[in-house]
């Protein structure tokens, strides 16, 4: 090869390397579907496959537990702003927005007994912050009214929780940085602009120090939730799952399609604010209980709600009475009430061996088994209490409501598939790992986390106020549950 040809080849390679380094390429492109014999459906199929390859999985580290004698909630760590800073927020499937405490805030908690640092979000310290005004499409969608006037005003929110706690503030837009799954037990940062609440005034339990956090991250079905905003931008599927470890604390929380373990599902009741499912039957170790008619055959707005922001499980009064009667008939104990709502008893033997399992049967033959170590918790070495509660909750049309919180969801992988409108679960060791599949079909392991290893010893033996029983969200207008 003569010298001039060699130099021309080297120059061409050099130019390619320069283009690569600069991220700029010029190629002669022939359209794959240029031929008229191709059907239009192939174009859509091609785009769908391409979009699928782009979809990411997200790993959210978990902390906390669902024991009523300990923390009584689960939380994760996210990053907001530029440069990104850490915030610890409760994960809650019963609400639809992300909000964090913001500076200045005179009534926001400044410390917590959970052993984690608290931080106020400061928009002035973020180079990517933007305001959300009344003229913003997000505000117009969420308020569903003309109360946000004039259009130059900030878009405000007012959230009221079932225990009377409230959060007030304005919506803002900034970067959220999450951990994208890139390989087995490997992640890389993924950033996107999202709208979230900037809380300037909190009341009730949200301002207490025993279990205070920086805010709440709602994983509800509405378009205002972070997962819906990520999905609208084409970054993720509207599928998420959690495995809440009630033995060691923490667990797994992932956004994306789960490949293993295999999870059987039941349909979500359509057009509901919460994750409503149809409960067909309950039995205590095979002995059936009578269900209220509005529970077994979904009528009106009654039924059964799955909510990870609730710690315990709430049943209609008659169902609660018959459940405890059936359990204590199998294992006779003398009950006495603690704090007026907890049925407690003295016991020194192994509860898992002495007490029966409770099985909940849902539409499409999906069963959820609640073991004694799930529905019982210890106040001290020789005293236990039932986590089942008499909820007495009904909708406006008088239909009964069952609310299932972390008490029955713990130690199971629970998958919420909003795209296909189903929810499902499988017994799983929440201290281990799961496999999630990305848009290309590659499956990667996501392992369990525990953000506070010693959390149970921090507040062991104290009743933590139960933050999220049911929520009503008032966003510049009044809304009623169901």
Contact by Cβ (8 Å): 392, 458? no
92 catalytic per annotation = yes
Which of 59, 174, 307, 417 is catalytic? The answer is 307
Query: In angstroms, rounded to a whole number, what is the distance separating the alpha carbons of residues 3 and 8?
Result: 9
CB 217 within 8 A of CB 118: no
How do strand 98-101 and strand 130-131 relate by DSSP bridges? unpaired
According to DSSP, residue 133 is labeled B
Torsion of CA 262, 263, 267, 269, to 10 degrees: -140
What is the end-to-end Cα distance of the chain in Å, rounded? 80
Active site residue 136: no
Catalytic residue selected from 92, 174, 406, 449: 92
Q: What is the token pair recorded at 104? A: 């200045």
CA–CA distance, 452 with 274 (Å, rounded to integer): 29
Dist CA 167 CA 207 (whole Å) = 10
- SS3 at position 449: strand
The Cα diameter of the chain in Å comes to: 99
Buried b (16+ CB within 10 A) or exposed e, 423-436: bbbbebebbebbeb
How far apart CA 388 and CA 314 sit, in angstroms, is 6
Residues ≥6 apart with Cβ < 8 Å to 252: 62, 241, 242, 243, 413, 430, 433, 434, 446, 447, 448, 449
Quote the CA–CA distance of 247 and 244 in Å, as a whole number. 9
Cis, peptide link before residue 255, omega less than 30° from 0: no
Active site residues: 92, 307
């Amino acid at each position: 090869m003569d010298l001039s040809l060699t130099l021309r080849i080297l120059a061409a390679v050099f130019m390619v390397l320069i283009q690569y380094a600069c991220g700029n390429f010029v190629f002669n492109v022939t359209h794959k579907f240029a031929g008229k014999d191709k059907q239009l459906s192939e174009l859509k199929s091609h785009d769908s496959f391409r979009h699928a390859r782009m979809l990411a999985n997200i790993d959210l580290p978990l902390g906390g537990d669902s024991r009523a004698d300990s923390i009584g909630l689960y939380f994760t760590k996210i990053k907001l702003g530029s440069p990104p800073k850490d915030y610890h927020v409760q994960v809650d499937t019963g609400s639809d927005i992300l909000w964090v405490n913001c500076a200045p805030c005179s009534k926001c908690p400044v410390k917590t007994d959970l052993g984690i640092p608290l931080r106020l979000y400061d928009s002035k310290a973020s180079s990517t912050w933007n305001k959300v005004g009344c003229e913003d499409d997000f505000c117009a969608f969420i308020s569903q009214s003309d109360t946000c006037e004039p259009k130059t005003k900030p878009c405000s929110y007012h959230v009221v929780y079932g225990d009377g706690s409230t959060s007030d503030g304005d919506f803002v837009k900034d970067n959220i940085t999450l951990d994208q799954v890139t390989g087995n037990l490997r992640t890389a940062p993924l950033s996107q602009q999202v709208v979230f609440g900037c809380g300037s005034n909190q009341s009730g339990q949200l301002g207490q120090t025993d279990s205070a956090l920086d805010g709440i991250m709602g994983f509800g079905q509405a378009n205002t939730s972070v997962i819906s905003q990520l999905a609208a931008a084409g970054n993720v599927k509207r599928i998420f799952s959690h495995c809440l470890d009630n033995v060691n604390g923490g667990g797994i929380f992932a956004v994306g399609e789960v490949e293993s373990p295999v999870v059987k599902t039941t349909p979500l009741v359509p057009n509901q604010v919460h994750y409503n499912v149809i409960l067909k039957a309950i039995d205590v170790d095979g002995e059936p209980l009578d269900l209220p008619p509005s529970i077994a055959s979904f009528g009106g707005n009654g039924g059964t709600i799955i909510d990870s922001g609730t710690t315990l499980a709430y049943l209609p009064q008659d169902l609660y009475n018959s459940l405890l009667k059936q359990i204590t008939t199998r294992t006779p104990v003398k009950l006495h009430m603690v704090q007026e709502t907890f049925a407690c008893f003295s016991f020194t033997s192994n509860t898992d061996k002495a007490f029966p399992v409770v099985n909940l049967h849902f539409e499409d033959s999906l069963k959820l088994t609640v073991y004694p170590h799930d529905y019982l918790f210890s106040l001290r070495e020789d005293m236990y209490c039932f986590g089942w509660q008499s909820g007495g909750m009904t909708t406006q049309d008088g239909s009964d409501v069952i609310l299932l919180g972390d008490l029955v969801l713990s130690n199971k992988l629970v998958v919420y598939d909003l795209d296909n409108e189903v929810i499902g679960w499988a017994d799983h060791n929440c201290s281990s790992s799961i496999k999630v599949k990305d848009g290309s079909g590659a499956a990667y392991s996501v392992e369990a986390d525990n953000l506070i290893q010693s959390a149970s010893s921090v507040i062991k033996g104290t009743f933590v106020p139960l933050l999220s029983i049911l929520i009503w969200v008032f966003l510049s207008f009044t809304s009623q549950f169901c």
